[in-house]
Amino acid sequence: MLYLTLCVFIGLSASADVKPGDDCTTDGWGGTDNDDAKCEDGITNMKCRQGKCTCLDGSIWVESKAECLKTLGQDCNSANECAPGQGSCKNVGGRKQCCNWNDLNKECIDPEFVMEVVQNYVYDVNGELVKQIKKELQASYVYQAYASYFQRADVALMGVKKFFSAASLEERDHAQMLIDYVNLRGGHAEFGNIDLESACKAVLNHQNILDASNNTLMCICNFVAEEPEGQDIRTGCESDRSHWKNALMAFEDALVTERFVNSELLKIHKIADDAKDAHLSHILEHEFLDEQVSSINKLAQYVTRLRSFKGNYFLGEYIFDQNLSK
């Protein structure tokens, strides 16, 4: 009984925290050199060789912790999960393995990266930047569509048109800044489809979490987007546009769009922090977040002003538009 209890205890302790390079020689409990069970951690395929837990790099056994992790990484478990602190599960070269922020595992670096440049820049960070490039381009596309809407002769608010044209170019600049940054770090920028319907739905879904009460959000987007028959971006938009408070609706949409983009930037900042990517944190703080907060504030001011025109909204909107034209 005592023997069994001891074996269970030893089995558990051997599988809990064993690391490459750990000693696996006889230690008084009856284990022996070449006892592979002592190196079994439930994730990697380590073996006991010459007294150390090691892993196989091609035909060479490596036993230092750094070398072993660099070579092998940690395999995901059968549920595609990683042990706490081991990063997230990625399919790297056909093998599911845990990619960690510490960048010890060279296989976690995308093979498309520029290896001579890339340093402390990992798979997931690159992926998040690529997603953000798309979000900036989507915002640019939304604003371009809105500029076109305000240029229509039956809307004719040229100051608002001017604002959205400039905003569209600014978002495109943001996308270019991120593309430049990915290349600066030796990463790999990838480009997918941009369409207005998806862009507006992403903003609307984000806003629904915050405030489901505004039933005119993204109605302009709904009106200008090309969409499959019967699949509106949103339902409930009044079809008679002669009553629409166009400028107010547009700036409310722009406000939630900027809040959406800002929340995504904050997520990347958190990921950069977790990855200890000091350079990316610096760039986000100095080149993106400051400007984003200012944009949100400015748009909130516009929305406040437009909402204040209660007695004669359309006269107020006209004066507001004239001011934006200057």
Residues that bind Fe ion (CB under 5 A): 136, 171, 174
Q: How far is the CB of 163 from Fe ion (least distance, A)?
A: 15
Q: Is the Cβ of residue 263 or residue 323 nearer to Fe ion in the bound state?
A: 263
Q: How far is the CB of 268 from Fe ion (least distance, A)?
A: 12
Q: How far is the CB of 288 from Fe ion (least distance, A)?
A: 7
- For 230, phi then psi, to 5°, come to 75, 10
Q: Is the Cβ of residue 71 or residue 140 nearer to Fe ion in the bound state?
A: 140
251: Cβ contacts below 8 Å, ≥ 6 apart: 299, 302, 303, 306
Q: How far is the CB of 142 from Fe ion (least distance, A)?
A: 11
Residue 90 CA from chain centroid, whole number: 15
Q: Is the Cβ of residue 47 or residue 135 nearer to Fe ion in the bound state?
A: 135
Q: How far is the CB of 254 from Fe ion (least distance, A)?
A: 11
Q: How far is the CB of 174 from Fe ion (least distance, A)?
A: 4
Q: Is the Cβ of residue 110 or residue 171 nearer to Fe ion in the bound state?
A: 171
Q: Is the Cβ of residue 15 or residue 198 nearer to Fe ion in the bound state?
A: 198
Q: Is the Cβ of residue 47 or residue 174 nearer to Fe ion in the bound state?
A: 174
Q: How far apart are CA 99 and CA 101, in angstroms?
A: 7
Query: Can you read off the two tokens belonging to residue 196?
Result: 């207005």
Q: Is the Cβ of residue 8 or residue 293 nearer to Fe ion in the bound state?
A: 293
Q: Is the Cβ of residue 111 or residue 192 nearer to Fe ion in the bound state?
A: 192
Q: Is the Cβ of residue 103 or residue 171 nearer to Fe ion in the bound state?
A: 171
Q: How far apart are CA 177 and CA 132, in angstroms?
A: 11
Residue with smallest beta-carbon separation from Fe ion: 174
DSSP class per residue in 15-27: HHS--TT-B-S--
Beta strands in the chain (DSSP E): 47-49, 52-57, 60-62, 74-75, 88-92, 95-99
Enclosing H/E stretch for 113: none
Q: How far is the CB of 136 from Fe ion (least distance, A)?
A: 5
Handedness of CA 297, 302, 305, 310 (dihedral sign): negative
Q: How far is the CB of 191 from Fe ion (least distance, A)?
A: 17
Q: How far apart are CA 131 and CA 125, in angstroms?
A: 10
Q: How far apart are CA 100 and CA 88, in angstroms?
A: 7
Kindly tell me the burial class for residue 248, based on how many C-beta atoms sit within 10 Å of its own C-beta (0-12, 13-18, 19 or more): buried
Q: How far apart are CA 194 and CA 176, in angstroms?
A: 15
Q: What angle do CA 87, 192, 207 make, to 5 degrees?
A: 75
| Structural Rg of the chain based on CA atoms | 28
Q: How far apart are CA 43 and CA 69, in angstroms?
A: 12
Q: How far is the CB of 258 from Fe ion (least distance, A)?
A: 7
